[in-house]
Amino acid sequence: MNSNKGKKQNIEEIRRELKKFIGHFSVLVLLSFGVVYLFWVSYDCQCTNIQKDVIAYKEILNKQQVLSSKLDTIYYRMSLLNTDKVRNNMFLGDYISKNIQDFRKAIGEDSIAEFKHYYFFITQIDSLLSLKNEIVSITNREQHILKDLNECINRITKIDQELSKTPSLGFQSR
């Protein structure tokens, strides 16, 4: 009977140890699956963030290309302003102003940090345009004064010739 009692006790102890093992093993399995699940969630979040960053970078790159072409267009049109290559300088000036406003809208308030160089240029372009307009008006005045001077010289020459034709006046040309 002692051996029966020992066997029962041994079986009970084995069961108890087996239950402990199964409990510990199931906790370890749950922890392992939890770690794998959290790793997968982290991976998914990182992929989503990377995709957002890539999309934002592509948007900035596309915007930069658009701004670059608009800036080149504005520069080219500014070089045409008041150069006798266009028929209507007022229309071209208005068109350049509209392009500058479109350029400012394209930069936008949210992307000023990304396009500091363009924003700086566009803030300075108004003063550049006014300077160019002043230079053009001075050049126009100079041309007008030169035209008046040439007309005056021609009149003086004509009067000089007429006066030298009549010897009774006693006028001699220089």
Q: How far is 148 from 171, CA to CA, in rounded Å?
A: 26
Helix (H) or strand (E) holding 71: helix 2-80
C-alpha dihedral, 124 to 129 to 130 to 135, nearest 10°: 130
Domain range annotation of the chain: 2-169
More confident: 84 or 56: 56
Q: Is the pLDDT of residue 21 over 90?
A: yes
Whole-model pTM? 0.53
| 163 confidence band (pLDDT: 50, 70, 90) | confident
More confident: 4 or 53: 53
Do 132 and 81 meet the contact criterion of CB atoms below 8 Å apart?
yes
Single-letter code of the amino acid located at 108: G
| 27 confidence band (pLDDT: 50, 70, 90) | very high
